[in-house]
Amino acid sequence: MASKKDKNAGPKGPPVIENRQARYNYAIEETHEAGIVLQGTEVKSLRLGQATLTDAYAVPKNGEMFLLNLHIKPYENGGAFNHDETRTRKLLLKGSELSKLTAKIREKRLTFVPLKMYFNDRGKVKVLLGLGKGKKLVDKRESEKKAQADRDMARALRDAGQ
């Protein structure tokens, strides 16, 4: 029987942390991958899968992009070197990409939300960010109806094949 850690494991083993509510609450137009500046104890907590992306969002400040409200649980054995759980963390983006995203965020009133955090092949923590507009309640209901219809169709096809 596979444990929860194994089920969420990426290609090298560390867990992939997802923000499932982001696609429900936002109409994601495009995605971008960014690095993130972390402390040692934060990386150790991420390797154990102890982070929450639900309330996190990114904002441009002084020509840089920062991730706010990302909750990373303190590392058990961190002692005096542990980090603040919800501190502001800097995102690492190329200058040209940063200026384009900042312009889109300001002009079109879009939100930059983290969709997923994972370790790449080189062991670096990456954040997949989505640029999207908040959905209204009617749009959320339509999404739910579409998802339910897809589930019903898949169930009918599965049952017909038996």
Per-residue pLDDT tens digits for 134-151? 888 888 888 889 889 999
**pTM of the predicted model over 0.85:** no
Residue 157 belongs to a domain: no
Residues 4-45: tens digit of each pLDDT: 444 455 445 677 888 888 888 888 888 999 999 888 888 888
Is residue 144 situated within a structural domain? no
What's the pLDDT band for 3 if we cut at 50, 70, 90? very low
Q: Kindly state whether residue 103 falls inside one of the protein's structural domains.
A: yes
Domain that holds residue 17: 8-134
Kindly report the CATH number assigned to the domain that includes residue 26: 2.40.280.10
The model's pLDDT over 35-88, given as tens digits with 9 standing for 90+, comes to 998 888 888 888 888 888 888 888 888 889 998 998 888 887 777 777 677 788
Q: Is 153 a member of any domain?
A: no
Give, in order, the Cα–Cα distances in Å from 92 to each of 25, 40, 133.
25, 17, 22
**Residues contacting 105, CB < 8 A, separation 6+:** 59, 60, 111, 112, 131
